[in-house]
Amino acid sequence: MWTIEVLRARAFRLALAFALTITLATSGAFYLIYLRVTTADVAWVEALLIDESAKSVGDSEDRLRRALDLRLTRDLRRLDYVALFDGNGALTTGNVPTMPAIAVDGRAHLVREFPVPGSNDRTDSAIFVARRRPDGGVLLLGRSLLEVYALREAVSRALAIALAPTVLLILAIGLFFAGRGSRRLARIHNKIADIMNGDLGARLPETGEGDDVDKVASAVNLMLDEINRLLDQLKSVGDNIAHDLRSPLAVARAKIEGGLAREATVEDLRAAMADALDHLDRAAVTIAALLRISAVENGPREKTFEEVDLSAICAGVFDFYEPLAQANALDLTLDAPKPTLVRGDQDLMREAISNLVDNAIKFTPAGGKVRIEAATVDGRPLVRVSDTGRGIPPQERERIFRRFYQVERDGRSSGHGLGLSIAETIAKLHGFNLTVEDNNPGARFELRGADKASLALETARS
Amino acid sequence: MLMRADSNVKPSVLVIEDERDLAEEIRSELQASGHVVQLAENREEGLRAARAGGAAVMVMDRMLHGEDGLAIIETLRNEGNSMPVLVISALSSVDDRIRGLKAGGDDYLVKPFELRELTARVEALSRRAGDARATRLRVGPLEMDLVERTVRRGDRRVDLLPREFKLLEYFMRHPNQIVTRAMLLEDVWNFKFLPQTNVVDVHISNLRRKIDEGGEARLIVNVRASGFKLHVDD
C-alpha cells in the first residue's frame, strides 16, 4: 500500500522524530518562561506584603482600620485580603472572617483551598502575612494568586496554540518529502523491474538535483551502459567466434570425410589427417587467444604490479622480432634510450607491445620501416609502434580493437585477429590508453599511460 | 663438467587426474612415446604413489574432485621429495600460474593443451635433473663453452649473436627431445604467450644457417606439428 510505504519511509519517521523534538523543546522554553514569570510575581507579592505589614503593624488601631478600609475600597478586583483580629482572636475589621492556620511571624505563607469570604464554596490560593500588634491583636494581610494562575493558564494556552500548528507543519513537510521520496523510489523500482524483465535499454530516472539518490541512479546507469556495451561485444564476439571456428572445423571435417569416402591408401589418409590437424590447430589457436583475453581480464591486479621498465621490455621485444623483420626485408628500429618506469605486470606489458610489433611487421610490405619507441612524455609513459604500411582508414580505427576484427590489407591478413584486442585489454588493465593514428604513411599505435595520480585511480577502480 | 646426451630409457610418469577420459588420453600419449605410466585418481592415492617412489616425474591436475591438488606438492616438498611436477589446470589466469609454480610445481600447463605439448614438457622435466652448473655442454659435434660464450661444431668455430647463443643453449640442454614453440618462448625469451607470426621459426632458421654449413648434417630438425628437436646419434 502506498500509504503504508509512506509511513514506513525514512523521511516520514524522521519528520515524526523532528516534530517530537520540536514539541519538547518548545514546551521546555514555555515552561521556563512560565516559571520565571510566576515565581517573580509571587516573590514580588510576598515582599510587598511583608513590607506593608511591617510598616503598619505599629500604627494606632484607628489609623490601621482606615488604611485597611481604604485598601479594600481600592481593590476593585477583590484580590486583597485584610483583617485585624483583637487579642481574643475576634475579627475587628477586614474581609477574612477567621484566621487562616498560619504562624504569626511576619513571614509570607501560601494558603491553598482558602474559602473565599462571602461565598459558600469558592476557594482560592493566596499568600498571607500575619503579624502580632503591640496590643496583642493580629494584623493579617493577604493577596490572592488568582492573577498568577490566570497567567499560568494564558501561557499554557499560548503554548498549545503555538505548538499544534508547528507539529502539524513539520508532519506535513515530512509526509511531503516521504511521499516524494517513495514515489521516486517506486519509479526506480519499476525501472529496475523493467530492466530485469529484459529491457536493457531502460535507465533509472535522474532528476539532476545531484542528491544521494541521484548519484546512485547515475552510477547504476553508467554500470548499465557498461553492461550493455559488454553484452553487445559478447554478442558480436559470439557471432565471430562461431564464424572463425566454423571455417577451420568445416575444412577439417571435409578432409576427414573425403579421406574416408575414397578408397584411399594409407598415404592419402595420412595427408588428409595432417591437413585436418592443421585446421583443428587453427581453431585451437583461436580458442587459446580468447581464453587469453579472459585470463588477462581476470588476471593480475594492482596488488601484484611491480615497477617495470617499458624501455627494457621494448628492447627485448626488438631483439625478439629483429630476425623476423630482417626475413621480411623490413627496417626495424628501436628508440628507447632512457628507462620508462611504470607500475605493471612485466609479462602482460611485453605481450601487449609484442602484439603491436607483431601486427606492424605483419602488415608492412617489404622495404618498409617499423619503429619502436619508449619514453616518458610530459610525465606520462609512452610506447609508440609505427610502421609504413598501408595504415588504417579513419573510419576503421575504432573498430580494429574489437575482438576478431581484421583489416583486409593486401590479402595478407593472417592470425586470429585478437592481437589488438589483447593489447587493448592489457592496456586497460594498467590504466593505459591504446590509440591508433595516421603515420603518413602507415599506422602509429600509441600506448599511453595516465599520469601518476590518475593511474592510481584507474587501477583502484578496476 | 660435461652434460651428456641422455640414453633412451624413458622415465616412468605418475599421472594424478580425476577425469577418467583425460587420464586415459594422457596415459596412451605418454605410453606411445615410451613412458611407463601410473595413474592415480585422488590426492591420497597420488600421494601414496608419489611416496612409493616408482615414478620419476609427476603430472598432476590442479583440481582433484574439487580439492586443490597443490597441497600434494607442498606435502611432498616438506617431506624433502623433489620429484619434478607438471601442474595442469583449467584455471588460466596469470595469478594462478604463479601460485602453482610457487607451491613447488616445476612447470604449468593450462587446459586445453595439446598432448604433444604435455609429452614434450614431461620429457624436459624428467631430464632437468641434469647438471645446471655445467660450464661446458657437448651434444654430438656441438660444443658450447658457457663461460667464454663460444660454440664450436667439430673444429669449426660458430659465431652466434647473444640471442642465438641462448637458443642453442636451450637445445643443447634438451638434446634429442621435442622442444615446442611454447617451451622456447617461455624459457628462452620469457614470453608467456604465442605470437601470431612465425617468429620462432625465423629464429630457428637463422640459428640453423650458422650451425649447419655446407654439406653438414642438420642438427635441429622440425618435428611435425610439435616443434623442434636437436637430433644427434648416440
Measured in whole angstroms, how far is the alpha carbon of residue B19 from the centre of its chain?
23
Spell out which residues of chain B touch residue A280, defining contact as CB-CB under 8 Å: none
Q: Which region among A113-122, B36-45, B141-150, B175-184 has the lowest average model confidence (pLDDT)?
A: A113-122
For chain A, the farthest-separated pair of C-alpha atoms sits apart, in whole angstroms, at 160
A54-66 residue pLDDT tens:
888 778 888 888 8
* pLDDT surpassing 80 at residue A386: yes
Spell out which residues of chain B touch residue A413, defining contact as CB-CB under 8 Å: none
| Same-domain check for residues B145 and B113 | no
| Same-domain check for residues B87 and B144 | no
DSSP B99-118: HHHHTT-SEEEESS--HHHH
CA–CA gap between residue A392 and residue A389 (Å, rounded): 9
The domain spanning residue B52 has which CATH number?
Answer: 3.40.50.2300
Per the CB < 8 A criterion, the answer to whether B55 and B38 are in contact is yes
In a domain, B106, yes or no: yes
Say if the Cβ atoms of A324 and B199 lie within 8 Å. yes
Tell me what the mean pLDDT of segment B212-219 comes to: 84
- State whether residue A282 sits within 8 Å of chain B by CB: no
**pLDDT at residue B14, as a whole number:** 92
pLDDT classification of B3: cutoffs 50, 70, 90:
very low
| Same-domain check for residues B148 and B93 | no
In a domain, B7, yes or no: no
Domain boundary at B71, B102, B127, which? B127
In a domain, B8, yes or no: no
CA–CA gap between residue B100 and residue B60 (Å, rounded): 11
Q: What is the DSSP letter of B12?
A: P
| Same-domain check for residues B24 and B103 | yes
| Same-domain check for residues B116 and B159 | no
Domain boundary at B127, B146, B167, which? B127
Residue among B95, B196, B224 minimizing CB distance to A300: B95
| Same-domain check for residues B77 and B142 | no
Residue among A320, A324, A415 minimizing CB distance to B189: A320
Spell out which residues of chain A touch residue B192, defining contact as CB-CB under 8 Å: 347, 351
The listed range with the strongest mean pLDDT (A11-25, A284-298, A426-440, B148-162) is B148-162
In a domain, B2, yes or no: no
Per the CB < 8 A criterion, the answer to whether B171 and B220 are in contact is yes
Residue among B93, B98, B190 minimizing CB distance to A295: B93
Sheet holding B156-158, edge to edge: B136-139, B142-145, B150-153, B156-158
A300-321 residue pLDDT tens:
566 678 889 999 999 999 999 9
**pLDDT at residue B1, as a whole number:** 37
Spell out which residues of chain A touch residue B92, defining contact as CB-CB under 8 Å: 291-292, 294-295
| Same-domain check for residues B36 and B118 | yes
Say if the Cβ atoms of A285 and B194 lie within 8 Å. yes
Say if the Cβ atoms of A288 and B199 lie within 8 Å. no
Sheet holding A80-85, edge to edge: A91-94, A80-85, A138-144, A123-132, A108-115
Q: Can you tell me the ipTM of this complex?
A: 0.76
| Same-domain check for residues B74 and B23 | yes
Residue in the structure block whose three cell numbers are 602507415? A442
Q: What is the nearest CA distance from A223 to chain B, expressed in angstroms?
A: 24
pLDDT classification of A454: cutoffs 50, 70, 90:
very low
CA–CA gap between residue A443 and residue A420 (Å, rounded): 13
A384-395: b (≥16 Cβ within 10 Å) or e: bbbbbbbbbeee
**pLDDT at residue A240, as a whole number:** 66
Q: What is the nearest CA distance from B90 to chain A, expressed in angstroms?
A: 10
The listed range with the strongest mean pLDDT (A17-31, A368-382, A389-403, B118-132) is A368-382
A17-46 residue pLDDT tens:
877 888 888 888 878 887 887 788 888 888
**pLDDT at residue A412, as a whole number:** 39
Per the CB < 8 A criterion, the answer to whether B95 and A348 are in contact is no
| Same-domain check for residues B226 and B185 | yes
The listed range with the strongest mean pLDDT (B90-104, B132-146, B165-179) is B165-179
List residues of B whose CB lies inside 8 A of any A CB. Answer: 92-95, 98, 110, 112, 114, 163, 189-199, 202-203, 205-206, 224-225
Query: Which of these, A333, A414, A402, lies nearest to A369 by C-alpha position?
Result: A333
Per the CB < 8 A criterion, the answer to whether A6 and A178 are in contact is yes
Domain boundary at B84, B103, B127, which? B127
Query: Which of these, A404, A407, A401, lies nearest to A436 by C-alpha position?
Result: A401
The total of other beta-carbon atoms located within 10 Å of residue A448's CB is 16
A108-131 residue pLDDT tens:
888 887 777 777 777 888 888 888
Domain interval for residue B72: 13-127
Say if the Cβ atoms of A274 and B224 lie within 8 Å. yes
Q: Mean pLDDT over all residues of chain A?
A: 81
Measured in whole angstroms, how far is the alpha carbon of residue A436 from the centre of its chain?
38
| Same-domain check for residues B25 and B122 | yes
| Same-domain check for residues B39 and B105 | yes
**pLDDT at residue A2, as a whole number:** 52
In a domain, B5, yes or no: no
How many Cβ pairs closer than 8 A exist between chain A and B?
A: 76
Residue among A327, A345, A354 minimizing CB distance to B195: A354
pLDDT classification of B217: cutoffs 50, 70, 90:
confident
In a domain, B161, yes or no: yes
The domain spanning residue B152 has which CATH number?
Answer: 1.10.10.10
* pLDDT surpassing 70 at residue B234: no
Q: How far apart are the first and last CA of chain A?
A: 41
Say if the Cβ atoms of A296 and B94 lie within 8 Å. yes
In a domain, B114, yes or no: yes
User: How many residues are listed for chain A in this entry?
Assistant: 462
Report the percent of chain A where pLDDT is more than 70: 89
User: Which cell numbers in the block locate residue A64?
Assistant: 490601621
B28-51: b (≥16 Cβ within 10 Å) or e: ebbeeeebebbbbbebebbbebbe
- State whether residue A316 sits within 8 Å of chain B by CB: yes
User: Which cell numbers in the block locate residue A298?
Assistant: 581476470
| Same-domain check for residues B186 and B87 | no
The amino acid at residue A55 is: K
Tell me what the mean pLDDT of segment A178-204 comes to: 84
The listed range with the strongest mean pLDDT (A10-14, A159-163, B217-221) is B217-221
Predicted TM-score of the model (pTM): 0.59
Scan residues 377-436 of A and list those with Cβ closer than 8 Å to B: 414-416, 419, 422
Domains within chain A, CATH numbers bracketed: 1-199 (3.30.450.160), 212-296 (1.10.287.130), 300-461 (3.30.565.10)
**pLDDT at residue B2, as a whole number:** 39
**pLDDT at residue A404, as a whole number:** 52
Q: Which region among A337-346, A431-440, A450-459 has the lowest average model confidence (pLDDT)?
A: A450-459
Tell me what the mean pLDDT of segment A216-221 comes to: 88
In a domain, B144, yes or no: yes
For chain B, the farthest-separated pair of C-alpha atoms sits apart, in whole angstroms, at 58
Q: In sequence order, what are the residues at sequence separation of 6 or more whose Cβ sits closer than 8 angstroms to the Cβ of residue A225?
A: none
Tell me what the mean pLDDT of segment B39-63 comes to: 88
CA–CA gap between residue A295 and residue B90 (Å, rounded): 11
Q: How many domains does chain B have?
A: 2
Residue among B95, B112, B224 minimizing CB distance to A304: B95
